[in-house]
Amino acid sequence: MTSRSAIRFWFRGELQVIEDFQPTETVLDFLRLRQSACGTKEGCAEGDCGACTVAVVRPVGEELRIEAVNACIQFLGTLDGSVLFTVEDLKMEGDELHPVQAAMVKHHGSQCGFCTPGIVMSLFAQTHQNRPADRAELEDCLAGNLCRCTGYKPILDAGIDATAVATDTAEIYRETISEIHDEGELLAGDEGRFFAAPTCKSSLLKLVAEHPDATLFSGATDVGLWHTKLFRKLPKLIYLGRVKELLAIDESAHELRLGGAVSYERARGAFGALDSDIEELIRRLGSTQVRNAGTIGGNIANGSPIGDTPPILIALGASITLESIRGARTLPLEDFFIEYGKQDRAADEVLTEIIVPKLSHSQRFRCFKLAKRYDQDISSVMTGFCFTIEEGKIVESKLAFGGMAGTPKRATNTEAALRGKTLEEACSLVENLSSDFVPMDDHRASADYRMISAQNLLKKALIELSEEEKVATRLKPREAIHA
Ligand SMILES: Cc1cc2nc3c(=O)[nH]c(=O)nc-3n(C[C@H](O)[C@H](O)[C@H](O)COP(=O)(O)OP(=O)(O)OC[C@H]3O[C@@H](n4cnc5c(N)ncnc54)[C@H](O)[C@@H]3O)c2cc1C
Ligand code: FES
Ligand code: FES
């Protein structure tokens, strides 16, 4: 396997070949400090405001994706093999504006203008969907772009106009990308300080074994903030986003298998096929920019007690595979979380796969996210509930919660209390949750609020499912007639 020591990507029609860079140099620093390309703004430097949004075209397997990402928390090395677009690159022939820019002018979508470059870039990426977007889609597209003065109506109107006329696809960049695309490994730096991007699992595991002190990362929607907000020294970075095995999504009749570096946005459709609640949850997770970069693997490996996906995955009975050069092991996801800040992962192990069983005929699922804002907010309480119902009784349940303990955790006492009960009978048993949890008490929510909410969310699931069961039972005779 060939190895390179310089990153290569396209920017403003020129091939950038950069060997000398700090592993933690961000795309935003590259733009503003190296290129004096100051159209891309810095607001929060933590992925929240979207002022720094840029668009990146990159291959993921056979697919070519154009994605809006937050330049402030993306490390420069992740651009290897891609094309980078900023607001200054949208200029057309002469004085002609790009359709997104023209629509923003027409609808008065900008006042002070600080958020405008980011908003334009989010809409630019959206135009590559190659179809008109409706208001709901545009609200999603812009959930990670904060505007303090214009108000969103004119901006959404501009988005509707722009996506109606602009019909680009990421495919138009395939030839440009193919000029720099290779299977070569990247290792920029030296033994003590480097940015590495292996392309296959065996090279990754070898590198991690040689450098167990290195920081692994995929979307950097956590790790990026360790640099910009916590000022942590991260001299050795290993990027997982080019390892082909970790990018795979495989679906069979019984399960879904996601590689350890599959982004939320790529996983969204596959999860939707499992249960529509999960797709809606992922739609609410972070913003478009965060979902394009952030991964389910990162959401698990960071060990956070308030990550959105672990409670859902635990309720579904998911397991994960951890691999090192010593071998591979698969464990139930719930066993991965040992205590706050401690997970069952050795320094040389990589989370390579997440295995999610599909719901069986007798299983019913619900998940709820409780946060201060509906979109783009961290959960106060997150729940995933899966009930196995036979002859009208709960024979098994998995009730998993985030925000209720130092780790994502199942309510095993309540699960035992629910066994053998009907969904309706179980409604009176939700107070058992106080025997399972002593919830966290912090700036997001008090312990009392968390406990009462958790009980109410469980009751809500039971009531909803019990009503569904009643309707299904009432329908049965008619179904039989039609059969
Ligand atoms: C603006 C913003 C909004 C957010 N909103 C939400 C939200 O609504 N809900 C939510 O749950 N989270 C949210 N997050 C947090 C974040 O998006 C998630 O935790 C995300 O899943 C992390 O994935 P990543 O690929 O970016 O991880 P990274 O930052 O790349 O890595 C996170 C951690 O996991 C480790 N790691 C990553 N992949 C692997 C692997 N395959 N094997 C071993 N270790 C690995 C890294 O070493 C690091 O310790 C938000 C973050 C931001 C910046
Ligand atoms: S500066 Fe706010 S998201 Fe990047
Ligand atoms: S135009 Fe001022 S913040 Fe949006």
- The pLDDT tens digits of the residues spanning 460-476 come to 999 999 998 888 776 65
Q: Is residue 268 part of a domain?
A: no
Report, as an integer, the average pLDDT of 340-357.
Answer: 98
Ligand number, closest to the Cα atom of 218: 1
How many angstroms is it from 292 CA to the middle of ligand 3?
24
Q: Which residues contact 22 (CB under 8 A, 6 or more apart)?
A: 193
E strand spans, 86-228: 185-190, 193-197, 215-217
The candidate with the shortest Cα–Cα distance to 440, out of 398, 411, 407, is 407
Residue ID of nearest Cα to ligand 3 atom 4: 147
Residue 170 reports pLDDT greater than 90: no
Q: How far apart are CA 392 and CA 33, in angstroms?
A: 65
Q: How far apart are CA 154 and CA 164, in angstroms?
A: 15
Q: Is residue 416 part of a domain?
A: yes
How many angstroms is it from 47 CA to the middle of ligand 2?
5
Q: Is residue 322 part of a domain?
A: no
Domain boundary among 167, 182, 197: 182
Summarize pLDDT for 173-220 with one digit per residue, the tens. Answer: 999 999 888 888 999 999 999 999 999 999 999 999 999 999 999 999
What pLDDT sits at residue 249?
Answer: 97
Residue ID of nearest Cα to ligand 1 atom 49: 302
Residue 380 reports pLDDT greater than 70: yes
What pLDDT sits at residue 481?
Answer: 42
Report, as an integer, the average pLDDT of 56-82.
Answer: 95
The sheet that has 53-60: what strands, in order across it? 14-18, 7-11, 83-85, 53-60, 63-70
Residue 49 reports pLDDT greater than 50: yes
Q: Is residue 211 part of a domain?
A: no
Ligand number, closest to the Cα atom of 226: 1
Ligand number, closest to the Cα atom of 112: 3
Q: How far apart are CA 380 and CA 424, in angstroms?
A: 27
Residue ID of nearest Cα to ligand 1 atom 38: 298
**Phi and psi for 38 in degrees, rounded to 5?**
-90, 5
The Cα-based distances of 49 to 212, 218, 280, 326, 415 in angstroms read 34, 21, 22, 42, 40
Structure pTM? 0.95
What pLDDT sits at residue 480?
Answer: 42
- Dihedral angle, C-alpha 447, 453, 454, 460, nearest 10 °: 170
> With bands split at pLDDT 50, 70 and 90, how would you rate the model's confidence at 369?
very high
Give the CATH number of the domain where residue 413 resides: 3.30.390.50
Report, as an integer, the average pLDDT of 22-27.
Answer: 98
Report, as an integer, the average pLDDT of 389-418.
Answer: 97
The DSSP call for residue 10 is E
Summarize pLDDT for 322-337 with one digit per residue, the tens. Answer: 999 999 999 999 999 9
Supply 283's token pair: 């739609």
The sheet that has 327-332: what strands, in order across it? 249-251, 255-259, 350-357, 319-324, 327-332
Question: Where do the H-state alpha helices sit in 19-173?
Answer: 27-29, 99-106, 116-127, 135-141, 152-165
Q: Is residue 1 part of a domain?
A: no
Report, as an integer, the average pLDDT of 260-286.
Answer: 94
Report the domain count for the chain.
Answer: 2
Domain boundary among 182, 204, 225: 182
The DSSP call for residue 94 is T
Average pLDDT of the chain, as a whole number: 94
Ligand number, closest to the Cα atom of 49: 2
Let me know if 148 is exposed, middle or buried by CB neighbors in 10 A (0-12, 13-18, 19+). Answer: exposed
The Cα-based distances of 251 to 257, 355, 415, 466 in angstroms read 6, 10, 29, 30
What pLDDT sits at residue 66?
Answer: 95
Q: Is residue 326 part of a domain?
A: no
Q: How far apart are CA 202 and CA 179, in angstroms?
A: 26
> With bands split at pLDDT 50, 70 and 90, how would you rate the model's confidence at 482?
very low
The Cα-based distances of 121 to 53, 56, 284, 309 in angstroms read 6, 10, 20, 28
The Cα-based distances of 164 to 87, 95, 394, 439 in angstroms read 20, 22, 50, 48
Ligand number, closest to the Cα atom of 281: 1
> With bands split at pLDDT 50, 70 and 90, how would you rate the model's confidence at 407?
very high
Tell me, using a 6 A CB cutoff, whether residue 338 lines ligand 3.
no
Report, as an integer, the average pLDDT of 130-139.
Answer: 94
Residues 201, 204, 208, CA angle at the centre, nearest 5°?
Answer: 140
Q: Is residue 247 part of a domain?
A: no
Q: How far apart are CA 180 and CA 85, in angstroms?
A: 16
Q: How far apart are CA 477 and CA 15, in angstroms?
A: 68
Tell me, using a 6 A CB cutoff, whether residue 150 lines ligand 3.
yes
Report, as an integer, the average pLDDT of 299-315.
Answer: 97
Provide residues with CB under 6 Å of ligand 1: 46-48, 215-223, 240, 260-261, 285-286, 290, 293-295, 297-299, 301-302, 307-308, 350-351, 378
The Cα-based distances of 235 to 227, 232, 341 in angstroms read 11, 9, 22
Residue 305 reports pLDDT greater than 90: yes
What number does the ligand 1 atom closest to the CA of 225 have?
53
Provide residues with CB under 6 Å of ligand 2: 42-45, 47-52, 70, 72
Give the CATH number of the domain where residue 127 resides: 1.10.150.120
Percent pLDDT > 70 in the chain is 98
Q: Is residue 396 part of a domain?
A: yes
* Domain extent for 167: 21-182
Tell me, using a 6 A CB cutoff, whether residue 392 lines ligand 3.
no
Report the greatest alpha carbon distance in the chain: 73
Residues 292 and 68 sit within 8 Å (Cβ to Cβ): yes
What pLDDT sits at residue 377?
Answer: 87
Task: Give the 3-state secondary structure of residue 326.
Answer: coil
User: Which residue from 29, 30, 40, 46 has its CB within 8 A of the most atoms of ligand 2, so it is best to mutate?
Assistant: 46
Report, as an integer, the average pLDDT of 67-87.
Answer: 97
Domain boundary among 150, 182, 214: 182
